[in-house]
């Protein structure tokens, strides 16, 4: 449980960056104003896609020299030197049936009933684990990257997993996630209405657990307003209902290519 508490503290830092740290730790290596960027001769602009938006989730992959970006219905891989050179993209929209269900539930078909990518986490040397809102039906999958940049692989697995407790339902909800030693820790909402906020541990060899259900006195404030201090909070082990398929199934059926090999 001490280990889970440590993960919670890390998640708190992910949701509310810089809180509790000395100012010197919050200074970026390079700082440019928007005006300075526009005036820079080295500025390279990516104008996005007509059918995508919300370029909100980022993962820096320095080993391969790539920047991974999660957006609406798409995952992008950009060259770190020039984002318009050799960029790759994968379309991952919500299914028509899930979009219809989302619309029937009263959500906006164009603005909410799509798949907003909210989780981009390294799983091992060759794969990422990614999740999206899935038109208010959270969904996850493995993304194969290859071991080296020269492999030139960027492929989404054909096997999808239930993303409940990993990604928020609502694209407007804040969330945070970390994948450590094959286990995914997520601070997110766990229901359609966005009322049940919790920290979850999924994947890996252990049984999925979560913080106590419907006790949102602290986590609700943490994610919604980022004003809560995480010190002194206890985290009971409560089994996660409606858990996704066992991790062994996920790792062996995630792709038709060789199974992901855990990297320590």
Average pLDDT of the chain is: 75
Per-residue pLDDT tens over the stretch 97-148 = 999 999 999 999 989 999 999 999 999 999 999 999 999 999 999 999 988 8
**Is position 33 within any domain?**
no
162 inside domain: yes
On the question of pLDDT at 155 being above 50, the answer is: yes
Q: Would residue 15 count as lying in a domain? A: no
Chain segment 31-40, per-residue pLDDT in tens: 778 788 777 7
Is residue 199 in some structural domain? yes
Could you give the CA distance from residue 191 to residue 241 in angstroms, rounded to a whole number?
A: 12
- Looking up residue 163, the CATH number of its domain turns out to be 2.130.10.10
On whether the pTM is more than 0.95, the answer is no
**Structural domain harbouring 96:** 52-253
pLDDT at 226 over 80: no
**How many structural domains is the chain composed of?**
1
Section 27-51 average pLDDT: 72
CB-based burial, 140-156: b 16+ in 10 Å, e otherwise: bbbbbbbeeeeeebbbb
Q: Please check whether residue 18 lies inside any domain of the structure.
A: no
- pLDDT: is 173 or 233 the higher one? 173
């009322």: which residue's tokens?
195
Return the higher-pLDDT residue of 8 and 116.
116
Asked if the model's pLDDT at residue 198 lies above 80, the reply is yes
What is the percent of the chain with per-residue pLDDT over 70, rounded to a whole number? 66
Higher pLDDT, 139 or 8: 139
* pLDDT higher than threshold 90 for residue 44: no
User: How many residues comprise the chain?
Assistant: 264
Q: Residue 59 pLDDT > 50, yes or no?
A: yes
CA 85 to chain centre: 25
Query: Which residue matches tokens 């820096």?
Result: 60
The answer to whether residue 196 is domain-embedded is yes
Is the pLDDT at 219 greater than 70? The verdict is no
Q: Is 22 a domain residue?
A: no
Q: Is residue 186 part of a domain?
A: yes
The strand pairing partners of 36, in sequence order, are: none
**Dist. CA 20–CA 230, nearest whole Å:** 10
């Amino acid at each position: 449980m001490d280990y889970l508490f440590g993960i919670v503290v890390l998640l708190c830092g992910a949701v509310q960056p810089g809180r509790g740290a000395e100012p010197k730790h919050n200074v970026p290596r390079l700082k440019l104003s928007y005006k300075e960027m526009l005036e820079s001769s080295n500025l390279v602009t990516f104008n996005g896609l007509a059918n995508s938006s919300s370029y909100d989730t980022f993962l820096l992959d320095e080993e391969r020299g790539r920047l991974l970006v999660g957006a609406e219905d798409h995952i992008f891989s950009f060259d770190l030197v020039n984002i318009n050179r050799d960029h790759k993209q994968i379309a991952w929209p919500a299914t028509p049936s899930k979009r219809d269900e989302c619309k029937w539930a009263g959500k906006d078909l164009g603005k909410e009933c799509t798949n907003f990518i909210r989780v981009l986490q390294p799983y091992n040397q060759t794969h990422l684990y990614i999740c999206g809102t899935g038109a208010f039906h959270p969904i996850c999958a493995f993304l194969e990257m290859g071991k080296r940049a020269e492999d030139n692989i960027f492929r989404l697995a054909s096997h999808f997993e239930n993303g409940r407790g990993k990604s928020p339902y609502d694209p407007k909800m804040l969330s945070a996630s970390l994948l450590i030693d094959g286990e995914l820790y997520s601070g997110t909402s766990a229901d359609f209405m966005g009322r049940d906020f919790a920290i979850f541990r999924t994947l890996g060899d252990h049984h999925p657990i979560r913080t106590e259900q419907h006790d949102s006195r602290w986590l609700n404030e943490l994610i919604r307003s980022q004003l809560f201090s995480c010190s002194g909070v206890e985290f009971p082990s409560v089994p996660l209902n409606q858990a996704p398929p066992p991790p062994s199934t996920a790792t062996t059926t995630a792709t038709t290519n060789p199974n992901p090999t855990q990297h320590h």
